[in-house]
Amino acid sequence: MATLALLLMTVHVPALAQPAGPIPTSPKCQPATLVPLLRRHGMPDVVGCTRDVVDRSFKQADLGVAKAVPQADDAPTGVVFRQDPPAATRLVPGRQVTLSISTGPARPVPPESNTEPTPAATVSPIPTKQAMAAVPPVSGLAEARGMEAIRGRHLVPILGGKEFSSVAGGSMSRTDPPAGTTVPQGTLVRYWESLGPAPVPPPATPRVATVPPVTGMTPAEALAILRKAGLTAGEPIPELSLSGTGRISRQEPLAGKPPPPPGQMVLLWRSYAWFSTMGLVVVPLLILGAAAGLAFTRIGAKRRLIYTRAVLRIQPSLARDGEAQFDRTIPPAGPALGLRASLQPGEVHFTGPVPIERQEIQHD
Amino acid sequence: MTESSGCQVRELLPASLASMDDLMKQALCKDSDIRPRTLAWGFIGSEATDALRSVLDCDVFELVAQGWCMAKELHEYSDPARHPPGERSIVYLGKHSFVKTVHPVLDVTIESIKCPSLRFTLELAANFCSVALSITGGCITGAGAGDGDVGIQLKYGDATLLDKETRKVPFPARIDFKAPGLLISRSP
């Protein structure tokens, strides 16, 4: 209820002139009748009821305040003489309730009357000698002509917006206040420009009974076929494959199976296209490289073993030549390592004197 | 030459030198023709150590006695005027020390590549409390009644392969050098 009250219009209602004397109230205008109906979201018949009773009933029903449009009418002052929506209509959230409140019979308007237009929403106590005019019907008229018609009634046209409507685009669709409403001259009359009939949503693509086969197709072809079948599919998921061609390699659901429920996609997989070209070159190269590395390692180890064996075959041959020389060479048949060692004399360094404690001399 | 001393220089060296492998690798690979990955450096180091030990199969006292030959206090015994032939002198030396240096040299050939010679330095540090030398005709013919120790150090350039290790060398009662003995250097 509170939501409904918020959605309902809360336009500032001008203070209206109250009726001069008591107005007889019928049973339908009693709050006890109006409030229960309003609480059930039903629009009561308030024509002939005084405005204060209606306002009080709306407030008691937590529906806020209805929009009141003061207009000249033969009905007693302060009495509702027209309502929108009509009686027995269900009040829905957002629906504007407009009540036309009588300001008394219309007075003759002097032809040279040129009163300043007053905004409808800020109408104050209505002047006693206000010239009135009925809003002309402009629906279907071109904008220029419609504005001319409104101005011809001494009203001020102002663009209220654009909307879709049944009338042709570019022409006026409706006005506020509606056509036929009697308002003081100089009142702002909002008009809406028509955009033409609202566009009709495209008919839904009929969904097929089974999923069409798309394996082997390019992703673009597969997506187009599924779209035509009323199905949705995401970007194909790439997967590694030795025979990668870039085409759809598999799908889920499988072809011929019932389509997935609305909101779910058909899953597609696409084999790697690069692997078939790059992989055929790179993988053998990697294998060859690994094999070559292994072979080189083994060859290196073998060479070292050959060296070691060659050295081990050496029979040390000591050859001393008076200078304390050691000679070890590998025979010419398979020399790998030759070692020749010699000893060179060095110096003597005394750290102090060599004391001769005594000597004995013997003669032959 | 020494006789029956019973202690050779090679016996003062360990059977293997831990840093010889790296030393050989660094020294020989300065030659750009040698590819270090193709050689078994452990084996080469071991062979080089063996070669060094083999070339040092000389008596410790033979090298030490060469030091005595250089002592200026003994130069007078090389003067025939003061010590004529036929005179035999027994000289008793007191406490003294000296360092005798020799240079083992290794020439390495790998395949047909002759590498630069590797010149090692072996230092024998001799410390004697006493020793008796027999000198005849300007030559040291024998030694005996000694007491001392010998330290050994092996180096290659600035790298030390074997740090100084002093060992008490058992001094034989008497050592006779082969005739005519070790020639005492003459005075300059």
Complex confidence, ipTM: 0.83
pLDDT bucket at A276, cuts 50 / 70 / 90: low
Alpha carbons A204 and A200: distance in angstroms, whole number = 12
pLDDT, position B159: 85
Q: At A32, phi and psi to the nearest 5?
A: -60, -25
* Pairing mode, strands A98-102 and A67-71: parallel
CB contact under 8 A, A355 and B93: yes
- Of the residues A314, A350, A363, the best mutation for testing chain B's interface (the one with the most B CB atoms within 10 Å of its CB) is A350
For residue B42, the cross-strand partners are: none
Alpha carbons A34 and A46: distance in angstroms, whole number = 8
pLDDT at B55 over 80: yes
Distance of CA A289 to the CA centre of its chain: 51
For residue B128, the cross-strand partners are: B96, B148
CB contact under 8 A, A353 and B44: no
Alpha helix ranges (H) inside A122-277: 143-152, 219-228, 273-274
Tell me which chain B residues have a C-beta less than 8 angstroms from the C-beta of A360: 89-90
pLDDT, position A12: 36
Mean pLDDT (whole number) for B172-186: 83
**What token pair was written down for A29?**
């205008």
Helix (H, G, I), strand (E, B) or coil at A93: coil
Helix (H, G, I), strand (E, B) or coil at A55: helix
Alpha carbons A360 and A120: distance in angstroms, whole number = 155
For A354, the closest of B48, B96, B122 (CB atoms) is: B96
pLDDT at B188 over 70: no
Pick from A86, A78, A88: which is nearest to A54 by CA?
A78
pLDDT, position A237: 86
Mean pLDDT (whole number) for A303-330: 50
- pLDDT tens across A131-146, in order? 888 899 998 888 889 9
- pLDDT tens across B143-168, in order? 886 778 888 889 988 888 888 766 66
- pLDDT tens across A116-133, in order? 444 443 334 444 567 888
For residue B70, give the chain A residue with the closest CA. Answer: A348
Tell me which chain B residues have a C-beta less than 8 angstroms from the C-beta of A336: 110-111
pLDDT bucket at A22, cuts 50 / 70 / 90: very low
Pick from B7, B94, B61, B98: which is nearest to B177 by CA?
B61
CB contact under 8 A, B99 and A349: yes
pLDDT, position B110: 78
Helical packing angle, B41-55 and B20-28, nearest 10° = 100
Alpha carbons A109 and A120: distance in angstroms, whole number = 19
**pTM of the model as a whole:** 0.41
Residue A316 touches partner B, C-beta closer than 8 Å? yes
pLDDT at B37 over 80: no
- How many other C-beta atoms are found inside a 10 Å radius of the C-beta of residue B14? 12
Type of residue numbered A364? D
As a whole number, the mean pLDDT across chain A is 75
Mean pLDDT lowest among A3-12, A295-304, B170-179: A3-12
pLDDT, position A280: 75
CB contact under 8 A, B55 and A324: yes
Tell me which chain A residues have a C-beta less than 8 angstroms from the C-beta of B95: 355
In angstroms, what separates the C-alpha of B112 from chain A's closest C-alpha?
8
- pLDDT tens across A239-272, in order? 876 666 778 888 888 888 888 887 778 888 887 7
CA contacts within 13 A on the Cβ side of B159: 15
Sign for the pseudo-dihedral over CA of A363, B5, B9, B10: positive
Helix H or strand E encompassing A317: none
For residue B24, give the chain A residue with the closest CA. Answer: A339
In angstroms, what separates the C-alpha of A284 from chain B's closest C-alpha?
28
In angstroms, what separates the C-alpha of A289 from chain B's closest C-alpha?
20
Sign for the pseudo-dihedral over CA of A147, A153, A154, A155: negative
Specify the DSSP class assigned to residue B43.
H
Pick from A307, A289, A308, A239: which is nearest to A268 by CA?
A239
For residue B75, give the chain A residue with the closest CA. Answer: A354
Higher-scoring residue by pLDDT: A169, A316? A169
For A342, the closest of B89, B101, B105 (CB atoms) is: B105
CB contact under 8 A, B98 and A348: yes
* Pairing mode, strands B113-114 and B121-136: unpaired
pLDDT bucket at A359, cuts 50 / 70 / 90: confident
- How many other C-beta atoms are found inside a 10 Å radius of the C-beta of residue A61? 22
pLDDT bucket at A287, cuts 50 / 70 / 90: very high
Asked if A14 and A122 touch (Cβ cutoff 8 Å), the reply is yes
- What's the Cα-to-Cα distance from A269 to each of A238, A240, A245, rounded to whole Å? 6, 10, 12
Higher-scoring residue by pLDDT: B29, B156? B156
For residue A324, give the chain B residue with the closest CA. Answer: B55
For residue A142, the cross-strand partners are: A171
Asked if A133 and A117 touch (Cβ cutoff 8 Å), the reply is no
In angstroms, what separates the C-alpha of A291 from chain B's closest C-alpha?
20
